[in-house]
Amino acid sequence: MPPKTIRSETGAHKGVGPLIPPLAETQRPLRQQVFELVRAAGLIPRVQVAKDLGVSPASVTTITSELIETGLIEEVAAPRDNEAGRGRPAVALGVRAGAHRVAGMKLSDREHTAVVVDFAGNLIADDVIPRRPGPMSVAEILDAIETLLDRVCAKAGLERGALSAVGIGVPGFVDSAEGMVLWSSVLAERSVALAAAAGARLGLPVTIDNDANLVALAELWFGAGRSLPDFAVVTIEHGVGMGFVMNHRIYRGAQRVGMELGHTKVQLDGALCRCGQRGCLEAYIADYALAREATTALNWGHKESQPINVLLESLYDHAKAGNATAKSIFRRAGRYLAVGLSNVVNLFDPSLIILSGERMRYDYLYAAETLDEMDNLAINTGRPRPPIEIHAWGDLLWAHGAAALALSAVSEAILAPQAREIAAQ
């Protein structure tokens, strides 16, 4: 008797296991994988590409020919290490630096910073324009972006049209995929489609992101994070931000506005934060919080009109000179930072935490007591806590991260069809 066809009961045969789309983020098209491997290696022979990716040398040859034809990579004669001067030089593949140029920008409360880099990530020019703090209108921010771009292009000896893309970082809640700034301390309005507006003004594709994500991206592309699958970057500046790398990629969350460490609550009904809520971590450790403490605790009412940097330098000088009140202001901020960092450790168990931002010059923030306190607050597993590195790099690094964002947008638009839709927005 032939087997009877079993009728599907209600609820049966609906499948189990994760429903992973055929082209998930981790399964990039092979030519994109080849390109990204060449870009990361600097110089790499074809045979090594095949080995690293576990594919046949024939498919690597086909793909690399295509990439060479498109002008994205080129063959470079590399001297053989152990055959000094004899025989034909080995041929390696490298990114064609002149294929594209992009600009990266960081917009902040204090200054706007920009870089122009080539397709291999080499710096061509940079520029900084100081500004008066405070939120700007959309028209003002577009003017600022255009002025800065034209200035850095002039320094690079390039017409604006010679750029392939622009990446822009702003503080606040940013949906990078949608190109929306939901809230930012540099913008007076909420829910601004900044990527589209800047793109229309500049006549170039523009990608935007939260500035802390760009520091994480800079570490991932150029710094300590290049070889790490997961790590956290915590930025302390005018605000407090966090970028988190998971599986070599920036993790953004379901609505792409996650990782707002600065607005996690550390005190019920606590100090008022710039976001309008109370008790946010940022309201205790960001520079405006320290300045607010200093003006009240040290009776510095007369200094309120001074730029925040001058005020903080003065506070730091007082602390170094032994002023107990000034010291206690930094100490308290350090304790709140310990709470924030221990939460990061307890939630994510990262392999490294990088503290970044100009404020990191104030070593009271990460004094031995702060790290001890963090150890006490992190769960006790008997295993060592992740190392903490301090990178007191300035805004140039953030702008580099924005340039990496633009470089990704360019290469993905060319190599990965799904990413093209995002880049075209």
List interacting residues with Zn ion (CB under 5 A): 263, 273, 275, 277, 280
For every residue of 116-179, DSSP letters joined together read: EEETT--EEEEEEEE---S-B-HHHHHHHHHHHHHHHHHHHT--GGG-SEEEEEESSEEETTTT
| Residue 237 Cβ vs Zn ion, minimum distance, rounded to whole Å | 15
Please give the Cα distance from 15 to 87 (Å, whole number).
59
CB of 258 to Zn ion, least distance (A): 15
How many C-beta atoms surround the C-beta of residue 348 within 10 A? 18
| Residue 127 backbone phi and psi in degrees, to 5 | -160, 155
182 versus 275: smaller Cβ distance to Zn ion: 275
CB contact set of 39 (below 8 Å; sequence gap of 6+): 95, 120, 121, 411
Query: Which distant-in-sequence residues (6+ apart) come within 8 Å of 180 by Cβ?
Result: 174, 191, 192, 193, 194, 195
* Shortest distance (Å) from residue 263 CB to Zn ion: 4
The residue (of 281 and 360) whose beta carbon lies closer to Zn ion is 281
Instruction: Using the minimum distance from each CB to Zn ion, give the nearer residue, 118 or 293.
Output: 293
**What is the rounded CA–CA span in Å between residue 170 and residue 202?**
17
Question: Which residues, other chains included, contact 258 with Cβ-Cβ below 8 Å and sequence gap of 6+?
Answer: 251, 252
Q: Using the minimum distance from each CB to Zn ion, give the nearer residue, 124 or 273.
A: 273
Q: Rounded to a whole number, what is the largest CA-CA distance in the chain?
A: 98
Q: How far from chain centre, in Å, is Cα 177?
A: 14
Q: Which is nearer to Zn ion, 60 or 280 (CB)?
A: 280
Rounded Cα–Cα distance for residues 70 and 99 (Å) = 9
Q: How far is the CB of 379 from Zn ion (least distance, A)?
A: 25
Q: Residue written as tokens 């993790």?
A: 251
| In the complex, least distance from residue 277 CB atom to Zn ion, rounded to whole angstroms | 5
Rounded Cα distance between 382 and 402, Å, is 39
Q: Find the shortest distance in angstroms from Cβ 272 to Zn ion.
A: 9
Nearer to Zn ion, 123 or 275 (CB): 275
Active-site residue numbers?
Answer: 211
Residue appearing with tokens 């789309």 = 21
**Residue 249 three-state SS:** strand
Cite the beta strand spans of 171-210 per DSSP E: 173-175, 180-183, 206-210
CB of 304: closest distance to Zn ion in angstroms?
22
Strand partners, 199: none
Nearer to Zn ion, 288 or 398 (CB): 288
Distance from C-alpha of 39 to C-alpha of 405, rounded to nearest angstrom: 14
**Six-digit token string for 183:** 């809230």
Minimum CB distance to Zn ion, residue 92 (Å):
49
Q: In residues, how long is the chain?
A: 425
